[in-house]
Structure 1
Amino acid sequence: MPEKTAVVASRSGLHARPAAIFADAAAEMDVDVTIALAGTAEDEALDASSILSLMTLGAGNGDTVVLRAEGTGAQEALEKLALLLETDLDAQ
């Protein structure tokens, strides 16, 4: 399963507005995407399209997360979502 790491750039981390923006983007992908804090077991990864999962994740500014996707177009989806995470979504 392809994976990509990203560093959370939003000042508030993946909370409130940034979590909603990211969850919407993940939900629009044609692949299933999971997210986990770096160092977390793969089987404990959460659904990246779920705002509740993102809030539960507790990823703060500067934290490294691992995105994993399965399906056709997985690598492209991971690239787009990683770029989104590495953008300060609080500033938009």
Structure 2
Amino acid sequence: MTVRHSCGGCENLWTGVARAHCCACHETFDSVGLFDMHRSRGKCKKPQSLRMTWDGVWRSGLLVRQPPFEMSLVGPGRRGAATA
């Protein structure tokens, strides 16, 4: 059974226990870590400025392949080269 979560301050709905929704800007993030990254000194940063991508929730836009073909996240401001 899928549980939908909601915010009392907006109309957003999301699923997933690892997701984090910001009650200030009403954006929904794939993880608490991404949520924390977007909040700095009590203010929200635009997810796009942190190279996040949108597919229903904000996700890290930087994925790096590491042998043996594992996917790992690379934080904003750090460069990683994708390998085939």
TM-score, normalised with respect to structure 1: 0.23
As a proportion of its length, which structure holds more helix? Answer: 1
Larger radius of gyration, structure 1 or 2?
2
As a proportion of its length, which structure holds more strand? Answer: 2
TM-score, normalised with respect to structure 2: 0.24
Greater relative CO (CA pairs within 8 A, separation 6+) = 1
